[in-house]
Amino acid sequence: MFKLIDLPFDAAALEPHMSRDTLNTHHGKHHAGYIKKLNGFLAERTNAPSSLEEVVRLAKAENDKKLFNNAAQAWNHGFFWMSLTPQSQGEPQGELRAAIEKAFGDLANFSQEAKAKGEGHFASGWLWLVADKSGAVQLVDMHDADTPIVDDKLTPLSVCDLWEHAYYLDYKNERGKFLDAYLSTLINWRFAEAQYAAARKGEQGWSYPT
């Protein structure tokens, strides 16, 4: 059984970029709903793994779509909260910055490509910044509940939720404005740097608390 983790900041701390109303609904209703359904499906099983990462991978391997969708959404939202910060952190530093510059030329181009990919994504999903085993970083947009943790070649560094429930109360249909706020202000670069350091050491990085 998994719990709804607390937000790592006050629900009003991201205002005006993300409102208390959005976070109360997104965390308190949407994320909570995925956890509740996940626990319901797990209660029917005798082989439920103890970590959420393993539940996601098991559901994928068994092609159990209901379990996968709820387990992956539970994990993705936990990772999304960690990807946000109330204290704008400017720019990535160190090895992650070097990897972004190698892949995208410079930070401005990275933001431009991230916004274009996020805006261009059709319907619901997630915009991930990931690292592969070589340390190269890339942007990947995934549909619905899809998550890079089912691919052992990839480590997620940061994510932006592209589902309308993430931005509709604050930005209506203007997903691009929400992406601007994420890329310029909300993104937790210190967390992404820690994930990148873990990836370079072959470690798992952040895991959903049990």
Binding footprint of Fe ion on the chain (CB under 5 A): 161, 163, 166
Residue nearer to Fe ion on the CB measure, 167 or 189: 167
What whole-number distance in Å separates Cα of residue 130 and Cα of residue 209?
A: 21
Taking the complex as a whole, the smallest distance from the CB of residue 160 to Fe ion amounts, in Å, to 10
Taking the complex as a whole, the smallest distance from the CB of residue 2 to Fe ion amounts, in Å, to 16
Taking the complex as a whole, the smallest distance from the CB of residue 32 to Fe ion amounts, in Å, to 11
What whole-number distance in Å separates Cα of residue 189 and Cα of residue 92?
A: 5
- Give the residue at shortest CB distance from Fe ion: 161
How many secondary structure helices (H) and strands (E) does the chain include? 9, 3
What whole-number distance in Å separates Cα of residue 24 and Cα of residue 12?
A: 9
Taking the complex as a whole, the smallest distance from the CB of residue 72 to Fe ion amounts, in Å, to 12
Pairing of strands 137-143, 125-132: antiparallel
Residue nearer to Fe ion on the CB measure, 52 or 166: 166
22 φ, ψ to 5°?
A: -60, -50
Residue nearer to Fe ion on the CB measure, 72 or 131: 72
The gap from C-alpha 161 to its chain's centroid, in whole angstroms, comes to 6
Residue nearer to Fe ion on the CB measure, 2 or 163: 163
Q: Which residues, 6+ apart, have CB-to-CB distance to 99 below 8 Å?
A: 131, 135, 136, 137, 196
Taking the complex as a whole, the smallest distance from the CB of residue 29 to Fe ion amounts, in Å, to 10
Residue nearer to Fe ion on the CB measure, 53 or 161: 161
